[in-house]
Amino acid sequence: MGNRSKKIDFNKKYLDMKEIVTKQKSLLKDTEKLLNKQIEMEGKSSAYYLSMASWCEMKGYENSAEFLYRHSEEERMHMLKLIRYVNEAGGHALQPEIIGIKHSFETLREVFEQVLDHEIAVTISINHLVDHCFGQKDFATFQFLQWYVKEQREEETLARRALELFDIIGEGGIGLWTIDQEIVKLEGKVSAAQSMGEGK
């Protein structure tokens, strides 16, 4: 057999194989749809935090800006992780269209109030997805999502701690400057506290 016909033979086998794999697709349509909605939500989180980071940087809140730039990157990673999972499970992950991102904020406190509101909305969405997968006996996706359940617990706590700083320190005098200094230290403290709670 010449090289060319070997190549054709291989291509044919590969196409047949793809068909077999597609028939064995494990993801239900409803689950795929919900996962795509979650992809959109993570993409929006990334864009929200990027916009907030830029506002903070422009206003001179450098540490808050760093904190939010980093979180924007993390949310993008959450989105990519979901995209790869959906495609590996035989579905089609869709690049979300992101519009309507807010660019201006009244105060630094408003930024962190919105971070907390947004993280609570993400947790509700993840819980709904987990509940759906359990109901459908899709235990593979259920297990995959446990990472997000844990991540949300940490992110919600982090957002709460950030907001508490405004009440504890106060915004008058050098208060805002101090809050901006303290915000970056929170991450280490929250993850250490959670590791201790998990007995690590």
Name the site residues for ligand OFO (rule: CB under 6 A): 42, 45, 75, 78, 119, 122, 148, 151-152, 155
Q: 149 vs 169, which CB is nearer to ligand OFO?
A: 149
Which of 112, 83, 131, 124 is CA-nearest to residue 176? Answer: 112
What sections of 25-138 are H helices per DSSP? 29-59, 62-88, 108-135
Q: 159 vs 176, which CB is nearer to ligand OFO?
A: 159
Least distance CB 2 / ligand OFO (angstroms): 53
Q: What is the DSSP string of 13-24?
A: HHHHHHHHHHHT
Q: 64 vs 152, which CB is nearer to ligand OFO?
A: 152
Least distance CB 154 / ligand OFO (angstroms): 9
Q: 49 vs 61, which CB is nearer to ligand OFO?
A: 49
Least distance CB 79 / ligand OFO (angstroms): 8
Residues 70, 121: contact at Cβ < 8 Å?
Answer: no
Angle, helices 139-169/108-135, rounded to nearest 10 degrees: 160
Least distance CB 107 / ligand OFO (angstroms): 22
Burial zone of 104 (CB within 10 Å; 0-12 exposed, 13-18 middle, 19+ buried): exposed
Q: 52 vs 122, which CB is nearer to ligand OFO?
A: 122
Least distance CB 63 / ligand OFO (angstroms): 20
Which of 80, 82, 165, 75 is CA-nearest to residue 121? Answer: 75
